[in-house]
Amino acid sequence: MTSVPAADAARTDAVLPLVGSTIDVARERRLTLGAEVSHHFNAAGSALPTAAVVSAVVAHLRLEEQVGGYEAAAHVKDHVEAVYGSAAALLGCSADEIALFDSASTGLRVLLDAFRPAPGSRIIASRSTYVSHALHLMTLQRERGIDLVLAPVDAHRRVDLDALEALLADGRPTVLTIAHVPTSSGLVEPVDEIGVLARRYGAAYLLDATQSVGHLHIDVARIGCQVLVTTGRKFLRAPRGTALAFVQRDCTALLPPTAPDVRGAQWIDAFSWDVSGTARRFETWEAGIAGRLGLGVALEEANRRGIVETAGWLTATGDQVRESLRAIPGVTIADPHGSDSAIVTFLVDGVESARVSAALADRQVRVVSVPATHGQWDLGDRAIASIVRASPHVYNDEADISRLLEGVADIARKEARR
């Protein structure tokens, strides 16, 4: 990405730095029809898909229209099978360790329940946990007598590794559930180091990677988690209603599903059944095949683009957007110190975050307002009612970023004059 022209930089009262050229942004924009419709900074909510992803979805729906859903699914069976391999290639695992879901929330619920946390056992959760998963955890605490503990944080709101080790060292059966990157800030948890502690003390380690797969370089072997769950619609740029999980092969045999389905189980006589030896034991028969084909295309595109290159470009762009926003009078960056991701959160003095988001939308700049109700253990704990979140992707160019900065600066100036 080239630097923004001096005139644009002057209008924003901030300098847009140079970003490296490891990603061909112009090509990504040509592949992404929505890139010309608005200045889209909501990859952390639902990123813009490429035309190829959309075409795969629409083509399959047309096939279902012609021959029926089951017949169409049989016709594309090999393509659906390829999705598992593409996901495995991205995460550094085997295809039989991949399960597909309709959402990350479903995957997290199904897989956490498979651990069967018993009364008196413990779940340690990061403060970066998303609302849907937190609600499930609190329900287990209330209804099953699970001891739910929030992992202590350090001065920068990351999991405090020393304090976590002190908790784990008591030897209690523990499920450790960590959000790699939260919905409420650009924080990146030290997931590799947490994995070392989980292995050392025998804790089950479940990683919510909804904001990191397709965004950061993920290697499940290096991280050391037994389970990883992510969605398709965010940084992977797949359709809504798609998600996937990694379940470590050695762990799969120890986790029978709490609600076996014909997709991953076989009813063998009146009162017994067998379940698949792969992660597919957690899947259900009914699924949106069109969406899964779109997910497959998005995974292939991510692999071809290169996740190391993508991660480098995204984090550099996020850092530079963060610093440019920081230079605007009346704007406060809400990300904890040292946040190193493409998710940027901020506040505009005197203006509610929802109003900032709406005012930017009037300028065709797409960001979101994230309320504390989506992250009480983080935003609520910091006494922040809501934040504005901007999350770029590889289709954002310097003109997009200039419009974002100009819009925020204009909103801040208008509020300062009131």
**pLDDT per residue over 166-201, tens digit each?**
999 999 999 999 999 999 999 999 999 999 999 999
- Does the structure show a pLDDT above 80 at 370? yes
Residue 388 belongs to a domain: yes
| Same-domain pairing of 67 and 18 | no
- pLDDT tens digits, residue range 139-176? 999 999 999 999 999 999 999 999 999 999 999 999 99
CATH number at residue 35: 3.90.1150.10
Residues contacting residue 241 through CB under 8 Å, at least 6 positions apart: 102, 103, 232, 233, 288, 291
Please tell me the predicted confidence (pLDDT) of residue 21: 56
Cα–Cα distance measured from residue 97 to residue 177, given in angstroms and rounded to the nearest whole number: 19
122 and 179 part of one domain: yes
Same domain flag for 195 and 224? yes
Predicted confidence at residue 415, as pLDDT, reads 77
| Alpha carbon separation from 357 to 38, 65, 324 (Å, rounded) | 14, 39, 18
End-of-domain residue from the set 304, 324, 347 = 304
Cβ of 258: how many Cβ atoms within 10 Å?
A: 13
Residue-wise pLDDT for 387-417, tens only, equals 999 999 999 999 999 999 999 999 999 877 7
Q: Kindly state whether residues 76 and 25 are assigned to the same domain.
A: no
Q: CA 372, CA 384: separation in Å to the nearest integer?
A: 7
- The CATH number for 115's domain is 3.40.640.10
Give the Cβ contact number of residue 256 at 10 Å.
Answer: 14
- Residues 156 and 218 placed together within one structural domain of the fold: yes
Is the residue at 86 inside a domain? yes
Q: What is the pLDDT of residues 284-304, one digit of tens each?
A: 999 999 999 999 999 999 999
Q: pTM of the prediction?
A: 0.93
d(C-alpha 359, C-alpha 348), whole Å: 12
Write out pLDDT tens, residues 15-50: 333 344 589 999 999 999 999 999 999 999 999 999
Note down the domain range covering 391: 6-48+306-417
Together in a domain, 31 and 103: no
- pLDDT of 220 reads 98
Percent of the chain at pLDDT > 70 equals: 95
Q: HEC profile for 119-141?
A: CCCEEEECCCCCHHHHHHHHHHH
Last residue in a domain, options 304, 332, 350: 304
User: Are residues 326 and 263 part of one domain?
Assistant: no
Share of the chain above pLDDT 90, in %: 93
Burial class, 127, CB count within 10 angstroms (exposed 0-12 / middle 13-18 / buried 19+):
buried
Which tens digits make up the pLDDT trace of 254-282?
999 999 999 999 999 999 999 999 999 99
Count of the separate structural domains present in the chain: 2
> What phi, psi does 239 have (nearest 5°)?
-65, 155
Which residue blocks in 181-245 are alpha helix, DSSP H?
Answer: 191-201, 220-223
Report the chain's mean pLDDT, rounded to a whole number: 94
Buried b (16+ CB within 10 A) or exposed e, 296-317: bbbbbbbeebebeebbbbbbbb
First to last CA, the chain: 36
Give the chain's count of helices (H) and strands (E): 16, 15
Q: Is residue 1 part of a domain?
A: no
